[in-house]
Structure formats: C-alpha cells, structure tokens
Amino acid sequence: MKTIKLGARSNEVYYLNELLSNLGYKVVVSDYFGAATDKAVRDFQLKNKLVVDGVVGLKSWSALLQKTQGLFSSNSKLLSEQDLIDFSKRFNLELAIVKAVNEVESNGKGFLVDGRPKILFEGHIFWKELEKRKIDPKKYVNSTTANILFPKYTKKYYVGGAGEYERLEKAISLGGKDFEDAANSAASWGSFQIMGFNAVSIGYKSIDEFVIKMRQNEGEHLKAFGLFLEKNNLITPLRNKNWAAFASKYNGPAYKTNKYDEKLMRAYQKYSK
C-alpha cells in the first residue's frame, strides 16, 4: 500500500476511509484525506500503540488491515485478466486499450470491504425517477428525506461507502416496488459507476436484473460498461485511439481540465509496450 497523509487524494485514501468507517470513525468515505480522516488516523494510531503522526504507512496499514481482516478477503469478485481479454475480443479492441480505459475510468475497486458493490445515490435523479412513475415527489419531502430527495443536483449529501446504502434503503422504504425501482435507478453502480436508469436502454431486462448482475463481480461491471459504451457510440473512438473524442463524450467538457485524454494516452502507451 502507498504511504498517504493529510491532503492526499487517491484510491488508497478511499480504501482507508472505508476501513476507518467500518471501525466506527465518523469520516466521509471518499478519495480525499481531509481533517476528519487525519483525526481518525491519529486516534487509531494512539489506540494501537503506533507513532501518532497522521501518516498511513506500512505499520499503520498493517494494523488497520489486521483490525478489519475478513471484511473482504476473497478475490472472487475482482476483475481478472481473462475478463479484460474477453472484453477486448467482444468489442474488437486492442487489449492495451482495454487496460488503459480500465485504469483511467474505473472507480478503483468495485466493491466495498463488506462485499457489496460500490454505489452513489443521487437524490435529484430519485426525484426524476419518481416523476417518471407518475409519483409526485413533493408529497414525500420532509426533514427526514432531505438527504435523499431533492429536485436539483447537489453533492452535499454524499457520504460514500456503506453510508450510501443507508440512503438507498431509506429511499426504497418510502413505498412499494415503484419506489424500489426508482431508488435503484437513481444510484450509480460498481467499478464504472453506471447509473441504474441506463439498465434497460443498454440491454438489461429490468433494473432488477442489472442490480443482481452488479452484485456478482467486477467482470459484470466491465460488461455493463461495455454495453454503455456500445449504446453511446464510444467503441469506435476507442478503437481509433481518439482519446479526446472518447473523453469528451464519456467524461464531459471537464475532460480537458482533468486531462482524461492525456491519462488514457499515457496508460495505453504503458500497456502497449
């Protein structure tokens, strides 16, 4: 594991926050090592007779993993080399392209440490999905639903990790099957964070089938990603290694600021050697 500290932003930080959250610390499960994470790390170090410096290096990682061992010890759900090979054959893509896209566009590990797929619940999408089902969301707005039901996008209610399932389950509990479908459609799922509302349009029979597949393994996450790319005509720019065209459509206008096209090109060069 990479050594990380206050101010870092990476997949390792996301995993650290997951572990700390499972140990009872009040941290937002994200890829940012902020003040709350620093405070939790220092408390953990103090309680486990480590040097209290806020730096998560080999000793702190070892202690954290020992304390949380068994939460997600199986590799059976993780993406394999064969999954990438099968994907490249299915879409007639160079394996190096597939590996580059997986490295740059995947959201790190697609499962939480408790074995459930990663999700992010979007309250404004839940609002729209209820309206699609002829349900008036305004009737369900109150102080207890403020963090799951709102008309406009905001990220202030994101908690990450297992906390997103608490938000999802709260949304489902508001009603019957329509509410369950709307809630699952309002979450993004797995390694590539494919929104549930895409399920039927990209080839799944229902949102239920999509969720079942997302719970299986990262190979299924990759398949859903491929279906999404195919539906949105993103395979051809990948095949042609037109990184800017791909990033523009997949990542949006901010791709230039975040240099997604450059990241894809460098990753491809690395894997093509």
Where in the chain are the domains?
11-67
Between 14-23, 126-135, 188-197, the lowest mean confidence (pLDDT) is in: 14-23
Q: What is the spatial distance between Cα 232 and Cα 250, in angstroms, rounded to a whole number?
A: 9
Q: What is the spatial distance between Cα 172 and Cα 110, in angstroms, rounded to a whole number?
A: 22
What was the pLDDT predicted at 78?
85
- 119-121 β-sheet, strand order: 119-121, 187-189, 194-195
- CATH superfamily, region 11-67: PGBD-like superfamily/PGBD (1.10.101.10)
Q: What is the spatial distance between Cα 29 and Cα 156, in angstroms, rounded to a whole number?
A: 13
What was the pLDDT predicted at 109?
82
Dump pLDDT digits (tens) for 69-108. Answer: 755 545 578 899 999 999 999 999 999 999 999 999 997 7
- Crossing angle of helices 95-105 and 81-90, in 10° steps, is 120
What was the pLDDT predicted at 69?
73
